[in-house]
């Protein structure tokens, strides 16, 4: 009997080893990264940067698929309903952590239907105005807005996006009523401001800085806790008069819930290698972006804290998804 049991155990072990040997190494086919934002914005730009380097590192194509709409809901729902096998990933931002409190009815719950993979980077925004607007500082913008309630407007890339929330936080803290004009993406919003159709915008410093330096828009302030190295002569919003104001945009990667832990850990390791490269950090720094590196547990903690932070901002500012 003992001999039979030993033989059975050996056969079981051999069968398990055979199954593992027959399981193809990840990734064994192309991986798609769903970007629930329009092409041309920071999320799209950094997704393509990351996808190219993951392709080089992992030997399979990481294909970017833009699925914008409904403040990121359309593309995110598609990712949430995809097989949890590691072959569909979500490029996400603090739009997603904001939407947890801003949009009550969604076809997914971020921390239930996804697992954290890795952060990518963060950057400040820069509040710009069209040159035709007769203001050269935040104080002058606030004064003009107070003198003309709902007479000024600002553009965003859509409801619930970091641009929208940066604007609503500014309105709340500065005590002004500026009309929010949502667009289908940051590129479209940027075009509206450059053409003068919309008067102002808090935009990602990584994409708006060239327009500032070319004189196509006037930079009033940046939104971080300290001055940006790419626009060192531009004060922060807090410095410029709205004390304590701070808003940034950050990006990360998540995967559908149920994705194998080994796959998530492998992706975290590869993304961390990319964001830790000195040449990557240098290039991003010159654009105004700072790399973020965390393990999956740290990123999960970061996400939960950001959800709580923006829930407070939504409550205090009175922001709504239909504004």
Residues 106 and 255 in one domain: yes
Residue 72 has pLDDT above 80, yes or no: yes
Does 92 score more than 50 pLDDT? Answer: yes
Q: How confident is the model at residue 107 (pLDDT cuts 50, 70, 90)?
A: very high
The answer to whether the beta carbons of residues 306 and 94 sit under 8 Å apart is: yes
152 and 93 within one domain: no
Pairing mode, strands 31-35 and 114-129: unpaired
- The secondary structure of 233-297 as a DSSP string is TSPBTTTTTSTT---EEEEEEEEETT--HHHHHHHHHHHHHHHH-HHHHHHHHHHTEEE----HH
Residue 15, domain member (yes or no): no
Question: How far is 260 from 263, CA to CA, in rounded Å?
Answer: 5
Residues 92 and 63 in one domain: yes
pLDDT score recorded for residue 22: 46
SS3 24: coil
| Last residue of one domain, picked from the residues 222, 237, 263 | 222
pLDDT per residue as tens digits for the range 186-237:
899 999 999 999 999 999 999 999 999 999 999 999 999 999 999 999 999 9
Six-digit token string for 91:
């490029």
Rounded distance, CA 187 to CA 207, Å?
Answer: 9
With a pLDDT cut of 90, the percent of the chain lying above it is 82
Domain span holding position 168 = 124-222
Same domain, 36 and 96: yes
Identify whether 241 is part of a domain.
Answer: no
Spatial separation of the C-alpha atoms in residues 194 and 216, rounded to whole Å:
7
Q: Does residue 259 belong to any structural domain of this protein? A: yes
Encoding tokens for residue 284? 């991003």
| Helix, strand, coil abundance in the chain, percent, nearest 5 | 45, 20, 35
Q: Is residue 8 part of a domain?
A: no
* Dihedral Cα 277, 283, 285, 288, nearest 10 deg: -140
162 and 117 co-located in one domain: no
Structural domain contains residue 174:
yes
Q: Is residue 229 included in any domain, yes or no? A: no
Distance CA 46, CA 251 (A): 8
In sequence order, which residues have a C-beta less than 8 Å from that of residue 113 and are 6 or more positions away? 80, 256, 257
Taking 50 as the threshold, does the pLDDT of residue 159 lie above it? Answer: yes
CATH number at 185 reads 3.40.190.10
pLDDT at 5: 46
Q: pLDDT category, 74, cuts 50, 70, 90?
A: very high
In this structure, the answer to whether residues 47 and 97 fall within a common structural domain is yes
Rounded Cα gap, residues 64 and 77, in angstroms:
16
- Tally of CB atoms within 10 A around 244: 8
117 and 253 together in one domain: yes
Domain endpoint, select from 172, 206, 222: 222
User: Mean pLDDT of all residues in the chain?
Assistant: 91
Among 5-9, 65-69, 112-116, which stretch is predicted with the lowest mean pLDDT? 5-9
The residue assigned the tokens 């949009």 is 103
Lowest mean pLDDT among 15-19, 41-45, 172-176, 269-273: 15-19
C-alpha span between 209 and 29 (Å, rounded):
38
Q: Which of 40, 104, 97 is nearest to 72 (CA)?
A: 97
- The single-letter DSSP state of residue 62 is E
Q: Tokens in use for 1? A: 């009997």
Instruction: Please tell me the predicted confidence (pLDDT) of residue 70.
Output: 87
- Asked if residue 263 has pLDDT above 90, the reply is yes
The DSSP bridge partners found for residue 201 are 128
Q: What is the Cα gyration radius of the chain?
A: 23
Q: Once rounded to an integer, what is the mean pLDDT over residues 168-192? A: 93
Across 44-64, average pLDDT:
97
With respect to residue 230, please indicate whether it lies within any of the assigned structural domains: no
Token code pair at residue 303: 């996400």
Q: Tell me, what's the pLDDT at 7?
A: 54
The predicted model scores a pTM of: 0.85
What CATH number is associated with residue 86? 3.40.190.150
Q: Is 25 left (phi over 0), alpha (psi -120 to 50) or beta?
A: beta
Confidence tier at 279 by pLDDT (50, 70, 90): very high
Check whether residue 144 and residue 204 sit in a common domain: yes
Say whether both 205 and 275 belong to one domain: no
Q: Looking at residue 3, what is its pLDDT? A: 53
Residues 89 and 55: beta-carbon distance below 8 Å: no
Q: How many angstroms separate the CA atoms of 101 and 317, rounded?
A: 12
Same domain as 148, residue 113: no
**Is residue 53 pLDDT above 70, yes or no?**
yes
pLDDT in tens, 239-249: 999 999 999 99
Residue 16 has pLDDT above 90, yes or no: no
181 and 254 in a common domain = no
What pLDDT score was predicted for residue 43? 94
- Structural domain contains residue 17: no
- What pLDDT is attached to residue 2? 47
Q: How many domains does the chain have?
A: 2
- Say whether both 253 and 118 belong to one domain: yes
């Amino acid at each position: 009997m003992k001999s039979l049991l030993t033989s059975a155990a050996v056969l079981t072990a051999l069968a398990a080893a055979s199954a593992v040997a027959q399981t193809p190494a990840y990734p064994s086919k192309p991986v798609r990264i769903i970007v629930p934002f329009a092409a041309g914005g920071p999320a799209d730009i950094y997704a393509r940067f990351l996808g190219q380097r993951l392709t080089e590192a992992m030997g399979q194509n990481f294909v970017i698929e833009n699925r914008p709409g409904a403040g990121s809901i359309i593309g995110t729902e598609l990712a949430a309903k995809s097989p949890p096998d590691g072959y569909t990933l979500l490029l996400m931002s603090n739009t997603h952590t904001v939407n947890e409190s801003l949009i009550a009815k969604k076809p997914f719950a971020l921390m239930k239907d996804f697992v954290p993979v890795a952060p990518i980077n963060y950057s400040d925004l820069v509040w710009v105005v069209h040159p035709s607007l007769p203001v050269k500082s935040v104080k002058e913008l606030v004064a003009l807005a107070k003198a003309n309630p709902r007479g000024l407007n600002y553009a965003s890339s859509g409801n619930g996006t970091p641009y929208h929330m940066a604007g609503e936080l500014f309105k709340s803290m500065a005590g002004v009523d500026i009309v929010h004009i949502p667009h289908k993406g940051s590129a479209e919003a940027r075009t509206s401001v450059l053409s003068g159709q919309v008067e102002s915008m808090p935009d990602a410093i990584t994409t708006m800085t060239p327009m500032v330096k070319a004189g196509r828009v006037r930079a009033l302030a940046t939104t971080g806790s300290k001055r940006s190295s790419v626009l060192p002569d531009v004060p922060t919003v807090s410095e410029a008069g709205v004390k304590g104001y701070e808003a940034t945009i950050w990006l990360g990667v998540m995967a559908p819930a149920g994705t194998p832990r080994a796959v998530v850990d492998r992706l975290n390791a590869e993304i961390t290698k990319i964001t830790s490269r000195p040449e990557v950090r240098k290039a991003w720094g010159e654009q105004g972006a700072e790399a973020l590196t965390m393990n999956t547990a740290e990123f999960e903690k970061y996400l939960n804290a950001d959800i709580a932070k923006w829930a407070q901002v939504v409550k205090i500012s009175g922001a709504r998804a239909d504004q």
